[in-house]
Structure 1
């Protein structure tokens, strides 16, 4: 590791490199193609940033391309790489869909050494000859299990073909998929496989709970969970339409929540994510657009409002909590049938799914008894009664008149109360004007 990196590593409070950071450094510095597999939250961004940046030359144009699956992840990665790149005078530009193309084109004229972007926007700028790849020496494909599927695979391959033939390749992922075993076939180069998922110990203690809740009561359950102190959660939905309904309902009910979907403008998406990171909102409602790579420090919980259909989806969703040694809680909502399906889906994994119950403003693994439920209801009733009594006393104190002023108040009210039998006399505007005209006529006659 370069001396500049070692010093900054210490300044950031890191004790030692993670397993993936150690495993891929020498191979990448030695110009080898690498596939790095490591759990979520294990520092994969820094793992490819340090060796990739060490081989770049400041002022020599764009030499490194990093592809990310979403706008949020591309912006997050660009910030991390910019933090490390400034130590070597390297410039970093983010190219994402939804952002202003002209502004991005102007930034490319400054010839940044590192470009981080989403595949669609990067390829568009390459085809428009705004982004030139003839000097690129390394191409990093982050979240490779996601990017190397469907139409995105073709887009990534087109970008790779636009780079020099000897370009160095780096692939990083938290989960393994069949295509990651066929990279030499798809990209025409041998790729060294580095898998540290069994060696990594950066994951904190994460509890995986099943909370039986019907579809019509899930919004209400989210509100109840907010009664717990210091509770914040990333809430995953399958459909944007369901998310929007919940977000609208929460907005009208003044619930501390915001939505993050792919159809929002980039400015709106950034604001929602920033508000959630800084604690201004407590629930961030999102689809799987936020399931990959996003780093939200000390996130207490992840909630599956809608359960995932694939194991990899579950892995990436729950990977947002319990990062870098922090504890975390996963809460999967569903009816009895849904939860059975989830258990069946994850039966071959190491996840220990435990039934959860919400009782007395807290989550518990013990099924509430009838006595417990009655005690909680009694306590709730007492709190409501005490609140109402306090409010009533406050109102009575505020409205109770002084003894000396009581008679005067009655007299005043009596004097001001109109007599319904007497009609209010209205002046005739026409008569008044007629009198004024006569007055002015008499005045003119005298003069």
Structure 2
């Protein structure tokens, strides 16, 4: 590690490199193609940043390209790399979809040494000849298990083909997928595989809970969780429509929540994420696409509003909490059928799924005790002391021909008379009310006429 990096490493409060940072430094700095596998939150960004920047020459044009799956992750990575790059007088520029193309083009004229971007925007600028890759010596594909799928795989390969044939390759991921075993076939170069997932000890204690809640009551459950002190959570949805409905409802009810979706403008997405990081909002509603790889320090909880359908989805979601030794809580919502399916999905993993219950204003693993009818009747039965104070004969009916005593009659409660359904209540109107008076007036007129 360079001396500038060692000093800054200590200034940031780090005592020693993580397993992935130690394992990949020498191979990446030594021009080897590398596949690095490490758990979420284990410092993969710094792992490829330090060796990659060490080989760059200031003022020599764009030499390093880093590809990220989302705007948020590209901006996050560019900030981390910029913090280290300034120590070597290197410039870092972020190229993301949704941002102003003209501004990005102007920044490219300053010939930055490092480009961090999303594949679509990078390829567009390359096709428009605004970004030239002939000097690139290293290509980093972060979140490779996600980027190397579907149409994005073709986009990444197209970018790589515009680079020199001997460009160095680096792939990083938290989960292993079949395509990561076929990198030589797709990119034409052999890749050294470095897997430290079993050796890494950076993750804190994360509890995985199952909370039985029907679909119609999940919004209400989120509101109840907000009543817990110091509670914050990243809430994952499968469908953007469901997310928007919940976000709209919370907005009108003035709940402390914000949404982070791919259809929002970049400024809106940055503000939502920044407000959540600073604690201004306590719930961040998002999807797997928008929140993959996000680093939110000391995030207390992750909530699965909609359950994941694959192990990899679950791994990346829960990896947002419990990072760098901090404790975390995962809360998966669903009915009995949903939670059974999740257990089957994760049966071959090491996750210990425990039932959760919401009692009062806290989450607990102890099942609340139901109140039985017998217990209710027992509490309603008057005590012996209360019976002793009851006046004698107060509750007994008087015998035939016997007058009740005044004292007993005064203390005895009056029986409520039930209305007789056969008797209809007579409706009085003003005509009925004056009927007697009209008869009197007629009689008086008759007497006066006789006189």
Pair in the same fold by TM > 0.5: yes
**SS across alignment from 2:219:** helix
Contact 2:21 2:43 (C-alpha < 8 Å) held by counterparts: yes
1:349-368 C-alpha deviation (Å, 9 max, x unpaired): 00000000000100000100
Alignment-derived partner of residue 38 in structure 1: 38
Alignment-derived partner of residue 166 in structure 1: 166
Alignment-derived partner of residue 195 in structure 1: 195
Q: CA deviation at 1:370?
A: 2.2
Contact 1:36 1:194 (C-alpha < 8 Å) held by counterparts: yes
Match status 1:122 vs 2:115? no
Alignment-derived partner of residue 281 in structure 1: 281
Contact 1:203 1:323 (C-alpha < 8 Å) held by counterparts: yes
**SS across alignment from 2:198:** coil
Match status 1:323 vs 2:323? yes
Match status 1:11 vs 2:22? no
Q: Distance in 2 between matches of 1:371 and 1:316?
A: 41
Alignment-derived partner of residue 403 in structure 1: none
Q: CA deviation at 1:334?
A: 0.2
1:19-71 C-alpha deviation (Å, 9 max, x unpaired): 00000000001100000000000000000000000000000000000000000
Contact 2:123 2:159 (C-alpha < 8 Å) held by counterparts: yes
Alignment-derived partner of residue 108 in structure 1: 108
The 5-angstrom pairing of residues 230-245 of structure 1 reads: 230-245=230-245
RMSD: 1.1
**SS across alignment from 2:203:** coil
List gaps (5 residues or longer) in structure 2. 377-451
Q: Distance in 2 between matches of 1:293 and 1:78?
A: 13
Alignment-derived partner of residue 94 in structure 2: 94
The 5-angstrom pairing of residues 329-368 of structure 1 reads: 329-368=329-368
**SS across alignment from 1:193:** strand
The 5-angstrom pairing of residues 33-432 of structure 1 reads: 33-371=33-371
Q: Distance in 1 between matches of 2:166 and 2:111?
A: 21
Q: Distance in 2 between matches of 1:221 and 1:146?
A: 31
Q: Distance in 2 between matches of 1:130 and 1:331?
A: 46
Q: Distance in 2 between matches of 1:66 and 1:184?
A: 19
Q: CA deviation at 1:292?
A: 1.8
Q: Distance in 2 between matches of 1:190 and 1:289?
A: 30
Q: Distance in 2 between matches of 1:154 and 1:258?
A: 34
Alignment-derived partner of residue 380 in structure 1: none
Q: CA deviation at 1:291?
A: 3.6
1:200-231 C-alpha deviation (Å, 9 max, x unpaired): 00000000000000000000000000111100
**SS across alignment from 2:32:** coil
Q: Distance in 2 between matches of 1:69 and 1:252?
A: 32
Q: CA deviation at 1:198?
A: 0.1
Q: CA deviation at 1:272?
A: 0.2
Contact 2:184 2:191 (C-alpha < 8 Å) held by counterparts: yes
Contact 1:291 1:316 (C-alpha < 8 Å) held by counterparts: no
1:391-424 C-alpha deviation (Å, 9 max, x unpaired): xxxxxxxxxxxxxxxxxxxxxxxxxxxxxxxxxx
Q: Distance in 2 between matches of 1:349 and 1:60?
A: 47
Q: Distance in 2 between matches of 1:362 and 1:150?
A: 43
What is the TM-score of this pair, normalised by structure 1? 0.83
After the TM superposition, which segments of 4 or more aligned residues of structure 1 sit over 2 Å from their partners?
none
1:109-134 C-alpha deviation (Å, 9 max, x unpaired): 00000000000000000000000000
Q: Distance in 2 between matches of 1:53 and 1:162?
A: 21
Q: CA deviation at 1:76?
A: 0.1
Q: Distance in 2 between matches of 1:158 and 1:146?
A: 17
Larger Rg computed on CA atoms: 2
Q: Distance in 2 between matches of 1:326 and 1:101?
A: 39
1:82-132 C-alpha deviation (Å, 9 max, x unpaired): 000000000000000000000000000000000000000000000000000
Q: CA deviation at 1:290?
A: 3.5
Q: Distance in 2 between matches of 1:70 and 1:28?
A: 24
Contact 2:262 2:290 (C-alpha < 8 Å) held by counterparts: no
Q: Count matched residues.
A: 374
What is the TM-score of this pair, normalised by structure 2? 0.82
1:149-201 C-alpha deviation (Å, 9 max, x unpaired): 00000000000000001100000000000000010000000100000000000
